A and B are shown apart, each in its own frame.
Chain A
Amino acid sequence: MKKIDAHCHVARRSDGSSRGWTNADLVEAADKLGIDKLLCSTPVSGGQPTMDVVRKCNNITYEAMKEYPDKILGYAFVNPGYFTESIEEVERCVKELGMIGIKLYNQYRADEPVVLPLIRKAAEMQIPVLWHAGHPPSPEEALRWGQPRISDGVHIAALARKVPDAILIHGHIGGGGDWEWGIKALRNVPNVYVDTSGSVVDEGMVEMCVKYLGAERVLFATDLSMEAGVGKILGADLTDEERELIFWKNMDRILRRRKV
């Protein structure tokens, strides 16, 4: 069965350092697991990166896209605090470099007004916005994680209601936060998808996504937890049709909506 990994990363980090393996290793791992496409980004995971840093991040992603054009697709990472320039960078990445969407991290929460111009632009272009997300056990723990502005399902739902034609993806429902919180929060916002990536492989997680959101709003992904990512979809109680939607058809449909 075909597979599109909706949330992945390339071998180099935002500071240019290596993760300890190469893009060739990533592609080899994907091949072993039957993953056809890897939708990758290079985000900065803390602080407020300047536009220079952001452009370097996207160039790192673009290098990997050029290295493996049939395998690696790119999301443009931006800092929404740079109103005009972040939109210009998205346009550069999408129109000139061929990227397919936007990746946002924890620089701003999804319910903060500052993100609206960028999200409205994404809606206009009909490109997906993948948001690093998770619900920490407490605000104090979010601080300990170094992520006081991490978005959770409630924040993303609030944004989705403000921009109902935006295509939003709650990143890594298995990324370590309270996934039941995330799934429940998104039940009534049809323009939000969840990706199933992360190292958490809790039995019943994928089934709960399908029960609350419908299989059409669930996207297979790994976030570099490659075997966990594939294994949890293979292991879940799903029909073949549901598995196929999750593994690739939903993401394929999102990619076909682009107006650029």
Chain B
Amino acid sequence: MIIDASTYIGHWPFRRLRYNTAEGLVTLMDRNGIDKAVVSSINAVFYKNCQEGNEELAEEIEPYRDRLIPFATLNPKYVAWREDLERCVKDLGMKGLRLYPLYHNYGLLERESRELLSEAAKMRLPIEIPVMLVDPRQHHWMDVDRTLPLNQILETAKRHPENVFIVLNVKDVSPIIEGEQPVPKNVYVEMSRLTAVLTKSIQALISRIGVERVVFGTGMPFHYAKPALLKMEILDIEEEAKEAIYWKNIAKLLGLNVD
């Protein structure tokens, strides 16, 4: 069983993506042996009113509900996000949130963010935060030109122990591995951009926060799935620990019954 914690569908304004429909994503999942995937709408990142992107997502994945697990994109600084949150969870069956502080121009420590996190905690919704969508070294002139500092997420997690945070698409985990402060227990890390050989950042991360807080992801369709799968394949850890990363950890966070 493999569950991908990091996939998307929708239009990316700055490069032509392939396989960026629900059908296309499932094609990639089948090709790569991935059973289920957490998915959100790229459109929702760019619409002022994110909710229309969430509505599109729910509609498009309807035939694939057994494979695709929708996460809502919300902007706590945009009007009526509480109503959108309720609609996403109660009517559209969304299982978590994806937040984009850089794209939506807010800080995770601001009042509106705190309110959103508080509501998400009440609903037991995990929060996924991609520190970047594409590598900023190649950003389009209208795109965000930096990554979200991991320390901002760690500080937010420390102040919101009732929430679960899953960090996506992160390459540099040194604030976690080398930080002097204990890593908040509610922080999970998706492994697709880390390494299993040479610098061995996956192993370093496991040593620091435990295998139960590392989850598998690919970043499809922005990224090829094979690099992440290859890292898992050659990772020098017990099979049981691999199973935890491949699916058990995320299944637990999502309350999935997949045994």
Measuring CB to CB, which residues of chain A are less than 8 angstroms from any residue of chain B?
A: 19-21, 25-26, 28-29, 32-33, 134, 136-138, 141, 145, 176-180, 199-204, 224-228, 230-232, 234-236
Is there a chain A Cβ closer than 8 Å to B113's Cβ?
no
* Nearest chain A CB to B238 CB, angstrom units: 17
Is there a chain A Cβ closer than 8 Å to B223's Cβ?
yes
Task: Give residues 134-160 of B contacting A (CB, 8 Å).
Answer: 134-135, 137-141, 145
Cross-chain contact B224 with A227 (CB below 8 angstroms): no
* Nearest chain B CB to A244 CB, angstrom units: 17
Among B70-78, B88-96, B114-122, B191-199, the one that faces the other chain is: B191-199
Cross-chain contact A228 with B227 (CB below 8 angstroms): yes
A134 to B193, alpha carbons, bound, how many Å?
20
Please name 5 further chain A to chain B contacts, defined as beta carbons within 8 Å, in addition to the given A134-B137, A200-B138, A224-B198, sorted by A numbering: A25-B197, A28-B197, A137-B145, A141-B145, A231-B228
**Which residue of the partner chain, among B139, B198, B228, contacts A137 with CB atoms under 8 Å?**
B139
Interface bracket on B? 35 or more
Is there a chain A Cβ closer than 8 Å to B245's Cβ?
no
Task: Give residues 211-259 of B contacting A (CB, 8 Å).
Answer: 219-231, 234
Cross-chain contact B15 with A180 (CB below 8 angstroms): yes
Smallest Cβ-Cβ distance to A135: which chain B residue: B138
A226 to B200, alpha carbons, bound, how many Å?
11
Smallest Cβ-Cβ distance to A228: which chain B residue: B227
A231-B224 contact given A33-B230, A226-B195, CB 8 Å threshold: yes
Cross-chain contact B137 with A32 (CB below 8 angstroms): no
Cross-chain contact A176 with B198 (CB below 8 angstroms): no
Q: A202 to chain B: which residues have CB within 8 Å?
A: 15, 134, 222-224
A194 to B33, alpha carbons, bound, how many Å?
30
A232-B227 contact given A25-B198, A226-B197, A227-B234, CB 8 Å threshold: yes
Q: B106 to chain A: which residues have CB within 8 Å?
A: none
* Nearest chain A CB to B202 CB, angstrom units: 10
* Nearest chain A CB to B251 CB, angstrom units: 24
